[in-house]
Amino acid sequence: MRAAPGRKHDGEEEPARARLVAALVGNPNAGKTTIFNALTGMRQKVGNYPGVTVDKRVGQVRTEGGAAIDLIDLPGTYSLVTLSLDEQVVSDVLHGALAKERRPEALIAVVDASNLARNLFLVSQLLDLRLPMVVALNMVDVAEAHGRPVDASALESALGCPVVAVVGHRRERVRGLGERLVGAPVPPAIVHPVAEPMASEERRLARAIADVDGLDEVQSRIVARRLLTAEPGRDLARLRDGHRAEIEAARARLESTGLDPAQEDIEARYRWIDEVVARAVREPEAHAPGRRTTTERIDAILMHRVLGLLVFVGIMTGLFACVFWVAKPMQDGVKDGAAWLGAQLAARMSDGPIKALVVDGVFAGVGAVLVFVPQIALLFLCLAALEDSGYLARAAFLMDKLLSRVGLHGKSFIPLLSSFACAIPGILAARTIDGRRDRLATILVAPFMSCSARLPVYALLVPACLPGSSALTQALVLFGLYALGILAAVVTSLVLKGRLARGDRSAFILELPSYKRPQALQVLFQVWTNTRAFVTRAGTTIFALSVVLWALLYYPRLPSEEAARFHDDRARSAAQIEHSVAGRLGHALEPAVRPLGYDWKMGVGLVSAFAAREVFVSTLGITYSVGAASDDTRDLAKAMRQERRPDGTHVWTPLVAVSLMIWFVLAMQCMSTMAVVRRETGGWRWPLAQLLFMNGSAYVVCLAIYQIGRRWLGG
Amino acid sequence: MAAVPSTVALESNAAPLSRPRAHLVDASHSTLDSLAVGARGRVRAVGGEPGLRRRLLEMGMCRGVTVEVVRRAPFGDPIELRVRGYALSLRAEQAALVVVSVEG
């Protein structure tokens, strides 16, 4: 695992290594993904780096000369000295420090020509790696429009490596990158001059290293620089075990002079960058003062104190409307299609456990997964378009103040908004938050947002709690349920604020990239990969649980002599449920949920809701013998109203419905969410804490409401 | 929002600081969070715990570079800056780590 810098990663040399392994590296927003897609087409695979939740994308490039390149798309990074998880992976891959990962043999550095100086900082660190490199000079058109065109050939001679000017989204000359990469030379390394006493400490350390490792002078200076400037906690420990005493002594001496080696190094690199920029940018900045760029003109509106907020609310409302109203007919179509197919199959099979498994287990399970897909895909579509345009960074900027007050981050906004559709994409979207503390807090509160799977439950229960009320009243109650979820999230994050690890105190350092027109192909490609990831990650859990749930409801079978007593199919299946494992679980749960006002049937429903919350409705449909298939819940609502306890009182009082609705707002009842939280946080600790906290507080709140309400209302 | 420190220390600090020490030197120095919208400053020192300071420097906030305050977010924080030709936003809390000399 721990590799020294410059270590050769040729341990497992293959006899015929025909393929070149190259890495695509660049700043966030430099257009790296566009170039990756243009180079590799659809020939790419998404995997994972071992032990971390950073996606690994590898694509194949075949050059016109016939060479084959395996291109790794590394996450966007500003620096090789690490701050975030993504950057850690980039640094580890490039230094060959990840077990089982081959160290890249060549680099393509993507550089945003319209933001040359800042992008060249990473390039200065890449040059230290001593690997063959080609620079993809992207967005040359934008730089030109800004009045600061970059001269690729001047940049090429300044950097000493091939520079290919490209416009990523037009695929112009992108293919040329592959050709230039094959046989590209190792660009000359640069020792960026620093002041005394750092320079002499560096030379001394370099000599010690050179003697042992047999490095040349420049290489050993680069290594020494890295050792002097590395983060003590994170980086230095990974670097090397040898020379530890010399390194620590040198760092201590420098520290005692009050000098920060990291700062000296970074400033030295920027001095070099200023020279390179002066050579490569044809028109100096002074040429176009006062001329506003397109981005500045757009920001004058979108970032305006009043207008900006209005547009923000408008965009987010539009996104919401898209995810709920546009998706609705598609979801209905999926549901009907699955039901129809199931019915077709059922008609062709004989009764028995196999048929029941296929129809009620497998088909219901597939349906339960697929019904979310249109909505999730639309959500990903909106987000990908917003991200590609550059607006998401603005959303974080606009919302940071409000969110940081309750202990979250501006970048928490999108994950939380997504969670109104489904907590799973929301939790995945939290990966964009750099600070571990903020990311964790966001993941922990995301499930409080009322997801779309709660909506069918609310739709059943709101009329049940307010029989005969107007549509407006019901809408207000529905709104109240959403608001309650948000309130719970705010309270929770305030509770978490002081309690989560303080070491990872968050900062807000965010680039606001230039606006771009979203690229349809790129957006659709992202929708496709993300939706596929959702189906495989969440879908497998939902599907598996649906099958388990089916078995719990199906077994053990009612003895045939007892089943024969029922002439009505529906009454028989209701009796079967009571007899099943799930029914027994419901009865076993009854003493625990009785103080909240629930009976055993609701208990069964709550158990079943662990597959997906909306399954609660269909399970109640079965237990109330109105059938599960019907989408129309009016029969069910009627059956619920007529249900009475043995003592003749109504089971479904408004208070019970309120208590149950609040349970659904507050409780963690989604196994797939827990599975995703486990993946994202790297263990069961947080999902279990979440389960205990959410269900515990749901229990306490519902208990208080039901018990106080009962005394107060006398019911 | 932090009060505008009238004077600011420029000595380099090896120990982690939450913000640069607010005493000494001269009145033309200020911290970035206290600049008005539209004002420009030249970076003189960057404070903060090592990881944060490193990131600020890597993002181009080196000594000697000119930074312009473009706007504040609707609720007063964060702040949008223009540095080395691109737009960077920082919370006032982080901007307070950057000592600048105010430019005309």
**What CATH number did the domain enclosing A281 receive?**
1.10.287
Interface contact flag, A507 B52, Cβ < 8 Å = yes
Chain B residues with CB-CB distance to A410 below 8 A: 78
User: Is the CATH code 2.40.37.10 the one for domain B29-103?
Assistant: no
| Lookup: tokens for A601 | 């049937």
Is A110 within the bounds of a domain? yes
Q: Are residues A230 and A141 in the same domain?
A: no
Is A662 within the bounds of a domain? no
Residue A240 has a pLDDT of: 57
Q: Are residues A296 and A275 in the same domain?
A: no
Chain A residues with CB-CB distance to B55 below 8 A: 78-79, 83, 507, 509
Q: Are residues A278 and A304 in the same domain?
A: no
A36-39 CB contacts, 8 Å cutoff, 24+ apart: A36/A71, A36/A73, A37/A521, A37/A522, A37/A525, A38/A168, A38/A169, A38/A171, A38/A174, A38/A175, A39/A71, A39/A174, A39/A175, A39/A177, A39/A178
Q: Which residues of chain A have pLDDT under 70?
A: 1-18, 42, 48-53, 83, 168-169, 171-172, 213, 232-242, 283-291, 501-505, 625-633, 714-715
Q: Are residues A297 and A276 in the same domain?
A: no
Is A336 within the bounds of a domain? yes
Count the helix, strand and coil residues of chain B and give each as a percent rounded to the nearest 5.
15, 30, 55
**What residue of A is the nearest CA neighbor of B58?**
A266
Residue A671 has a pLDDT of: 86
Domain end point (choices A554, A576, A603):
A554
Q: Are residues A254 and A343 in the same domain?
A: no
Interface contact flag, A306 B80, Cβ < 8 Å = no
Distance of alpha carbon A120 from alpha carbon B58, whole angstroms: 11
Q: Are residues A30 and A136 in the same domain?
A: yes
**What residue of A is the nearest CA neighbor of B59?**
A118
Q: What are phi and psi of A468, to 5 degrees?
A: 75, 10
With beta carbons less than 8 A apart as the criterion, state whether A106 and A132 touch.
yes
Residue A86 has a pLDDT of: 75
Q: Are residues A322 and A305 in the same domain?
A: yes
Chain A nearest-CA distance from B6, in A, is 24
Q: Are residues A31 and A161 in the same domain?
A: yes
Interface contact flag, B73 A303, Cβ < 8 Å = yes
Is A663 within the bounds of a domain? no
| Lookup: tokens for A550 | 């089916």
Interface test with B, best of A86, A510, A515 (most B CBs within 10 A): A510
With beta carbons less than 8 A apart as the criterion, state whether A449 and A422 touch.
no
Residue B28 confidence (pLDDT) above 80: no
Average pLDDT (B95-104) is: 91
Residue A628 has a pLDDT of: 55
**What residue of A is the nearest CA neighbor of B52?**
A507
Total domains in chain A come to 3
Q: Are residues A253 and A301 in the same domain?
A: no
Structural domain that includes position A213: 198-287
The per-residue pLDDT for range B59-88, each reduced to its tens digit, is 999 999 999 999 999 999 999 999 999 999
The residue extents of the domains of chain B are 29-103
Is A230 within the bounds of a domain? yes
Chain A nearest-CA distance from B75, in A, is 6
Q: Are residues A518 and A378 in the same domain?
A: yes
Of B60, B71, B85, the CB nearest to A303: B71
Distance of alpha carbon A214 from alpha carbon A332, whole angstroms: 69
Interface contact flag, B53 A260, Cβ < 8 Å = yes
With beta carbons less than 8 A apart as the criterion, state whether A46 and A528 touch.
no
Chain B nearest-CA distance from A71, in A, is 27
Residue A368 has a pLDDT of: 74
Q: Are residues A97 and A124 in the same domain?
A: yes
Domain end point (choices A247, A264, A287):
A287
Residue A591 has a pLDDT of: 93
Distance of alpha carbon A249 from alpha carbon A251, whole angstroms: 5
The CA-CA-CA angle for residues A35, A40, A80, to 5°, reads 50
Is A192 within the bounds of a domain? no
Interface contact flag, B58 A78, Cβ < 8 Å = yes
Residue B21 confidence (pLDDT) above 80: no
The per-residue pLDDT for range A69-88, each reduced to its tens digit, is 999 999 889 998 876 777 77
Of B63, B74, B90, the CB nearest to A508: B90
Q: Are residues A276 and A297 in the same domain?
A: no
Is A696 within the bounds of a domain? no
What is the pTM for the complete model shown?
0.85
Of B54, B63, B88, the CB nearest to A81: B54
Interface contact flag, B53 A270, Cβ < 8 Å = no
* Amino acid symbol at A611: A
